[in-house]
């Protein structure tokens, strides 16, 4: 494992500052981002080659209005149709795309909109990702909850009525090992009917262990599928290994997980190609594992602590809506999550069209649910990963969804012993 730098003091050490500078300015000191590190499973999957060959050939400026009209007229959306719907030529057809997406959503999901909340249990991280608030060189208040604190946080969340939780950590095996995550999942199983995780990528046997601890689904952000841009954004840590991250969802399914979620962080690279790659990644994995429950997220960059200038590049709400509609038309069966990174106005609109799942009562900090949910003051918490945009509580989100003629759903699974 590479050296870790967790910044807990007021200033970076001279050694850390020097290494940070070298990583940022001298590519030769960085490890090869396409080579696996010791201990990483290599599963020899064929999916990456399928996805990336089509992404590399995608010339979105070559598509015309005629291609978009043809795509909207087809009963089944082909890969080429999907490419057309993501192209600039589709922008004038956004209303027609939205209507087709709305019909597909209602056909497959009815009026249901699912609600969940995330819980961050640790914010230590061994990676240097230049856009992330948790990165190992960012001076923030670090914290890791113990099992008693995790249980108290989960009690507070469950008391609000929430039935599905997503457990997140910073990407640090040293501070948040698999057994620690597993114990948190066992606690979550006592209070919630659905448990998901969004942690660092794992090996097959580790996913199997966490599934035995009660995990239902795994979310992994690829961040960007552009390998060259990925290399420049991820300068240190296990996250630097692009192919290991790409195969994470497949390893999770091999480990017995029921569902997996995909995402690119829009704004890091060319969003047309990142959106195409995300959709194709989900599409080919579904064909290979037809029993799997597939979902997609569509997050945009948000400002982070110590850097308020981080914002999505060229991905505005109109482009985001286009991507979400294209996802729905291409993958009508897939769940689509729109997080609290987006405004309440946007989320209220998109659940009528394409999205099927939203978060509520969100905190991206560590150990502060009691203060946020019950108004109790506490200074025993860790800093947030990024700024949220929609801070609605579960009750407010529930009522807002109902007021739009939709059905808020907290859980639709029954476990039979």
- For the chain, which residues make up each domain, given as ranges? 14-34+93-409
The reported pLDDT for the residue numbered 5 is 47
The reported pLDDT for the residue numbered 327 is 98
* pLDDT per position as a tens digit, 294-307: 999 988 876 655 55
Of 15-19, 188-192, 336-340, give the lowest mean pLDDT range.
15-19
Across the range 335-348, mean pLDDT stands at: 93
Flag whether pLDDT at 180 surpasses 70.
Answer: yes
Of 52-56, 201-205, 219-223, 413-417, give the lowest mean pLDDT range.
413-417
The reported pLDDT for the residue numbered 179 is 98
Which CATH class for the 14-34+93-409 domain? Answer: alpha beta
Q: What is the pTM of this model?
A: 0.91
Mean pLDDT rounded to a whole number for the chain: 90
The reported pLDDT for the residue numbered 365 is 77
3-state SS record for the chain: CCCCCCCCCCCCCHHHHHHHHHHHHCHHHCCCCCCCCCCCCCCCCCHHHHHHHHHHHCCHHHCCHHHHHHHHHCCCCCHHHHHHHHCHHHHHHHHHHHHHHHHHHHHHHCCEEEEEEEEEEECCCCCEECCCCCCCCCCCCCCECCHHHHHHHHHHHHHCCCCEEEEEECCCCCCCCHHHHHHHHHHHHHHCCEEEEECCCCCHHHHHHHHHCCCCEEEEEEECCCHHHHHHHEEECHHHCHHHHHCHHHHHHHCCCCEEEEEECECCCCHHHHHHHHHHHHHHHHHHCCCCEEEEECCECCCECCECCCCCCCCCHHHHHHHHHHHHHHCCCCEEEECCCCCHHHHHHHCCCCCCEEECCCCCCECCHHHHHHCCCCCCCECCCCCCCCCCCHHHHHHHHHHCCCEEECCCCCCCC
* pLDDT per position as a tens digit, 243-290: 999 999 999 999 999 999 999 999 899 999 999 999 999 999 999 999
* pLDDT per position as a tens digit, 115-145: 999 999 999 999 999 888 888 888 888 899 9
Flag whether pLDDT at 7 surpasses 90.
Answer: no
Across the range 70-78, mean pLDDT stands at: 98
Flag whether pLDDT at 374 surpasses 80.
Answer: no
Across the range 224-236, mean pLDDT stands at: 95
The reported pLDDT for the residue numbered 3 is 41
């Amino acid at each position: 494992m590479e050296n870790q730098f967790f910044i807990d003091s007021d200033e970076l050490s001279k050694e850390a500052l020097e290494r940070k500078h070298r990583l940022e300015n001298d590519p030769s000191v960085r490890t090869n981002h396409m080579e696996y590190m010791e201990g990483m499973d290599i599963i020899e999957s064929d999916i990456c080659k399928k996805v990336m060959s089509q992404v590399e050939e995608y010339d979105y400026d070559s598509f015309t209005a005629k291609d978009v009209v043809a795509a909207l007229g087809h009963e089944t959306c082909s890969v080429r149709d999907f490419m057309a719907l993501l192209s600039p030529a589709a922008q004038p057809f956004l209303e027609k795309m939205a209507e087709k997406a709305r019909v597909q959503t209602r056909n497959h999901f009815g009026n249901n909109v699912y609600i969940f909340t995330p819980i961050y249990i640790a914010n230590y991280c061994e990676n240097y990702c230049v856009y992330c608030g948790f990165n190992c060189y960012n001076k923030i208040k670090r914290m890791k909850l113990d099992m008693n604190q995790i249980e108290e946080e989960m009690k507070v969340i469950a008391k609000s009525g929430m039935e599905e939780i997503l457990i997140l950590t910073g990407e640090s095996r040293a501070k948040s090992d698999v057994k620690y995550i597993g114990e948190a999942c066992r606690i979550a199983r006592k209070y919630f009917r659905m448990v998901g995780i969004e942690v660092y990528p794992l090996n097959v046997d580790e996913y199997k262990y966490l599934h035995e601890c009660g995990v239902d689904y795994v979310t992994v952000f690829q961040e960007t599928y552009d390998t060259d841009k990925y290399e420049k954004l991820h300068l240190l840590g296990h996250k630097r290994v692009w192919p290991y991250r790409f195969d994470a969802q497949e390893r999770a399914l091999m480990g017995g997980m029921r569902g997996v979620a995909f995402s690119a962080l829009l704004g890091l690279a060319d969003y047309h190609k990142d959106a195409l790659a995300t959709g194709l990644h989900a599409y080919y994995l579904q064909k290979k594992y037809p029993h799997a429950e597939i979902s997609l997220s569509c997050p945009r960059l948000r400002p982070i602590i110590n850097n308020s200038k981080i914002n999505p590049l060229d991905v505005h709400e109109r482009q985001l809506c286009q991507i979400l509609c294209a996802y729905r038309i291409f993958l009508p069966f897939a769940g689509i999550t729109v997080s609290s990174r987006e405004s309440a106005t946007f989320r209220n609109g998109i659940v009528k069209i394409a999205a099927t799942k939203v978060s509520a009562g969100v905190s991206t900090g560590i150990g502060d649910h009691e203060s946020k949910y019950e108004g109790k003051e506490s200074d025993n918490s860790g800093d947030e990963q990024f700024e949220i945009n929609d801070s609605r509580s579960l009750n407010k989100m529930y009522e807002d969804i109902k007021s739009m003629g939709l059905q808020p759903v907290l859980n639709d699974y029954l476990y039979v012993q």
